[in-house]
Amino acid sequence: MLAVVAVGAAAWLLMQSDDVEAGAASVVPVAREAPAQAAAVASREWGEPSREAAALVRVPMTTDRTAPKACALSRGDEDCPFLEPDDETLNEMARCGIARLEVPSLPTLGSKADVFPAKWRETAGVTDAEHELLEKTAQKFAADLQRQWVDLAERVGVDRKWAETSPPVVVSSRIFAEFDEDQAASAIERIARERAGWEPKDEDIPETLEAAVRLRVEAGDAYEAAIAEALGPERAAELRASGDGWPGAHAATGNQCEVEPEPPRPHDFVPRTPEQARACIDDPKGKRCAFLDPTELELERMADCGIVRFDAPSFLGTRLEEPTFDANDNWANLVDLSPKEAAALAELGDTFREALYRDLTKLLLEAGKSQQWADQTPFLGMMVAISESSGATPESTKALLHLLAEERAGRADPPSDLAGRSLDERFLRRVAALGDAFEDAVAERLGKERARAMRTADDGWPGLRLQTQNYCDGTAPQTL
């Protein structure tokens, strides 16, 4: 399941995968309590990414961009390459303090699964001998990266044993939670100015924070250097350029320029033929198709291809912050949210989130983790731990997603009791139902019509929108 849901967690917590514009990035979580209270909370629960562990500072999406700003804020197309931005784009990124980064696909420590996709290998002309060397290099790089994050975590007072048993993305987020958002922004800006050839500002940035930011932002360069040792510098550069960056997530972090909030998502096309339904499944955003309420034709296609969609509010991925819908700065305006409703949602969100983490903790205990480890770990770390302990295989994940998709299309009845079901299935069903469950909870408090209006205003709750892998044509999971 890890391969399927990791993209969703990255969208929720990282929110800057290959298909997501930099406009969706998030902030370093900062406890909103008074300092003394915040310190007490931080001693119980580690900080964690709110939606984008690859991003440190909020980058709202703009609706009115100049060409250089458009390239600075998003991956773009052939006129806006990711790996080699032109001088105008670099200058805009330096002005706004934006740095691009790659999050290479790396193996889970101890895993033997391939991390270089077959399609990428074919495009790059990778031979069998090169593939073997690449996989060995990825294993060593992942182990080295883990050690570096653990060392940095220990420098800010994080328990080393906890860090050694947590994924790097979780450890890095714990480190960033120790520093102010402005300090992180300054560290990112320093790298952005370096890349544009500008003089750095004379700002005092904590040494450990700068090291952590560089470890994250310069991972693509470090990966190229590691592969160069195995295949030579020219071949390593060629492989990296073949996909305009390494296989994995391509992101942007930081932004100190003011931009406009993201507009509502358009979804005015309703498919009426199987061909149109297939187009909507393959590219729902590009075809202007609704994400939240697929038609019967779309559900049939999704059942055939083992595709499951789910959404969830962004705050469910965090544990320190007050529940808000800040995944879309404009959402409150879209739904004309009243102060009374905002207070009700915050209270309801706390209760709903606590129930989610209690359920996930039960699964973690079953997976062999301790209560203390569970109390200190955010959603992404929980997901990885459960996935690693579940014994799931690509074949079992495919079968499970087909089953869920068939249930949603009305071809099969969902089980009345999950007792005896695999750890993997119980976790996935819990997460896949979050959007519906939260709508039901809001309906009990504010009424069904109001709950539905809130969820549909932006075609799903502000936060996670995931469409899992398409097994008909091998399309990877999409974050929308």
Model pLDDT for residues 421-444, shown as the tens digit of each residue: 999 999 999 999 999 999 999 999
pLDDT at 467 over 70: yes
Q: What is the mean pLDDT of residues 28-35?
A: 28
For residue 403, what are its two tokens?
């089953």
Beta bridge partners of 465: 311
SS3 track for 81-135: CCCCCCHHHHHHHHHHCCEEEEEECCCCCCCCCCCCCHHHHHHHCCCHHHHHHHH
CA distance 71 to 20: 13
- The predicted pLDDT at position 448 comes to 97
| 3-class DSSP state of 164 | helix
pLDDT of residue 58: 34
What is the per-residue pLDDT for 262? 57
pLDDT digits (tens, 9 = 90+) for 101-150: 998 988 876 666 788 988 899 999 999 999 999 999 999 999 999 999 99
Angle (CA) 403-407-410 rounded to 5° is 140
Query: Measuring CA to CA, which residue among 269, 220, 239, 254 is closest to residue 58?
Result: 254
303, 460 in Cβ contact below 8 A? no
3-state helix, strand, coil in the chain (%, to 5): 55, 5, 40
Percentage of residues in the chain having pLDDT higher than 70: 80
Mean pLDDT of 464-471: 91
User: Mean pLDDT score of the chain, rounded to an integer?
Assistant: 82
CA distance 379 to 324: 17
pLDDT tens readout for residues 238-266: 999 999 999 988 888 888 886 655 566 66
> Is the CB of residue 462 less than 8 Å from the CB of residue 328?
yes
> What does the pLDDT read at residue 44?
27
Residue 4: what pLDDT? 53
β-strands 463-467, 309-313 pairing: antiparallel
Quick check: helix, strand or coil at residue 206?
Answer: coil
Mean pLDDT on 353-372 = 91
Which of helix, strand or coil describes residue 179?
Answer: coil
CB burial of 34-53 (b: ≥16 within 10 Å; e: otherwise) equals eeeeeeeebeebbbbbbbbb
Angle, vertex CA 385, rays to CA 154 and CA 421, nearest 5: 165
Check residue 141 and give its pLDDT.
96
Is residue 19 over pLDDT 90?
no
Which is more confident, 40 or 179? 179
Burial of 127 (0-12, 13-18, 19+ CB in 10 A): exposed
pLDDT at 24 over 70: no
Percent of the chain clearing pLDDT 90 (strictly above): 51
Round to whole Å and give the CA distance between 193 and 200.
6
Domain limits, the chain = 60-253, 274-479
Tokens 């299935």 appear where?
A: 425
Confidence at residue 376, expressed as pLDDT on a 0 to 100 scale: 82
Residue range 46-89, pLDDT digits in tens: 223 333 333 333 333 343 445 666 777 665 456 788 999 989 99
Q: What is the pLDDT of residue 264?
A: 60
Q: Both ends of the chain: CA-CA distance in Å?
A: 19
Tokens matching residue 446? 């504010």
Q: Which tops the pLDDT comparison, 327 or 348?
A: 348
| Rounded mean pLDDT, 276-289 | 88
Q: How far apart are CA 4 and CA 392, in angstroms?
A: 11
pLDDT digits (tens, 9 = 90+) for 187-233: 999 999 999 999 989 889 999 999 999 999 999 999 999 999 999 99
Q: Do residues 254 and 189 lie in contact, with contact meaning Cβ atoms separated by under 8 Å?
A: yes
